[in-house]
Amino acid sequence: MHVLFYDENYKYAGEDDIEINIEEGEKLPPNSTTTPIPSGLYVPKYDPEKDEWIESATKEYIESVTPPDPEPNPTELLKKQNALLSLQIAKLQADVSALKGGGAS
């Protein structure tokens, strides 16, 4: 059985596969649970009343260990700018045609 351990402050303290026969009345070791930790927690803390793991890291800690967003790809930026400029030129050309009496804008 896969067991997750927590310390006296209920913070995650490791895990292990152990043999327990629940049918024969064997119990989990102290400060342990079989409840899995959800992904995305930075400093998991076990809440025994709710039988769930919660986030105990501060916002500042999470920000300090979260990598910054990647820099935009210069080629992609140029493609987007080119598309916007092409659209603006097409609109201007339509406006000029409308002003000359060659169509509506």
pLDDT (tens digit per residue) in 43-82: 999 999 999 999 999 999 999 998 888 888 899 899 999 9
pTM: 0.60
Domain boundaries, the chain: 2-65, 69-105
Phi, psi at residue 57, to the nearest 5°? -75, 145
Lateral strand order in the sheet of 2-6:
12-17, 2-6, 32-33
What is the Cα–Cα distance from 97 to 61, expressed in whole angstroms?
Answer: 59
Q: How confident is the model at residue 3 (pLDDT cuts 50, 70, 90)?
A: very high
